Amino acid sequence: MASAIIKASQDVIRGKGMEPHMAEQQYFPGLEGIIAGETSISTIEGGLQYRGYRIEELARDASFTEVAYLLLHGQLPSQEQFADFKAILIESSEVPEPILEFVREIPLHAPPMDVLRTGVSALAHFDPQCDDDSTDSNIARAMRLIAQIPVLIAARYRYIHAEPYVEPSSTLRFPANILSMIRGTEIDALDEEAMDVSLILYAEHEFNASTFAARVVTSTQSDFYSAICAAIGALKGPLHGGANEHVMEVLEEVGSPENAESWVRTALAKKQRIMGFGHRVYRDGDPRAEILKTYCRQLADKAGNEELEQIADTIEKVVLDEKGLRPNLDWPSARLYHYLGLDVELYTPLFVASRVTGWAAHIIEQAENNRLIRPRSRYIGPVTLPFTPLSDRG
């Protein structure tokens, strides 16, 4: 059925086999199954791939920095290109002091995603290439944001927790640098590797809601930063990027392995949605969740605390048996970030720190072969109502 829907949507896009008035009658709530454009950046067909490389191989053998280069440039870097790319990221990590001061002055109750969205918008005013919308300039913007977004996240977090600002390091690898700026401690090898893999897995995922929002904004020929801010706004929602925050709430509510089965069966009986399970496009399970689960087990073992893993295993089994749903990436990532000593308020901003690479690649791709994204709607309201002048409406 799904393949038939996709084929029909492709025919609508290409104008094959349908008259225009017939195409207008096609309606798929939430655009489910609709092919809304073409991309060479990633695909989920046959398993998730970035630019033709399977996510399992990238997670096992690549670094997030290599993956960022791959997404932006369309190919893996040579050793020289990789060295240059890393050097530019290091040079680009300095956030202008007025923006750091502004981030400190935002009221403490402001949600971290709102602060991050505002910070990214403010960075636009310091762009040295503000009048240049070429591909090269957009790649340069992407690299600056990849470097600066972690600084914004860490600076705000440490400020609201009354901790001193930690400068970005010129020697640490990207994932260790993020953790160091947030935690203010040295980072061990397993923590660094787990963070690196999580960034790789979150970096790109085809036409998800936030990516599509970025492409829609770009299609109007608006600017790079407006598209990124739109994507951040979309990612903030609990049905998209905010899901892993709610996963942690579930695990904390369950409390212990002994409560897990009764809790989940009660929740299912009440038809309560359990965040972290099921996916619009993965019917046989999210491959990214399986990869990250192995790191959760290693980190739990290192901490000598297996309770969360026992709770998670029980909930996974019951949800699969009762609903046929498997975990998505948000389910293990919540536990992984918890084991890394990261507060829940950081989970979705860290998603941004990774996914900005994919967003940037899509913005560039959309701009290079642009057509205004302007779908139709099916009208379900009243028609041809008689107009009554204001004076006769009582």
Q: State CA 118 to chain mean position distance.
A: 17
Return the structure tokens found at 124. 């636009």
CA distance 299 to 228: 32
Q: Is 11 exposed, middle or buried (0-12, 13-18, 19+ CB in 10 A)?
A: middle
**Residue with the two structure tokens 């094959």:** 16
Euclidean distance between CA atoms 42 and 200, whole angstroms: 13
Residue with tokens 């996240």: 153
Q: State the first-to-last Cα distance of the chain, in angstroms, to the nearest integer.
A: 54
Give one DSSP letter per residue of 292-307, joined into a string: HHHHHHHHHHHHT--H
Instruction: Yes or no: say if 204 and 355 are a contact pair by the CB < 8 Å rule.
Output: yes
Q: Give backbone dihedrals phi and psi of 291, rounded to 5 degrees, phi first.
A: -65, -45
Residues marked as catalytic: 279, 330
* DSSP summary character for residue 310: H
Strand arrangement, sheet containing 49-50: 42-43, 49-50, 53-54
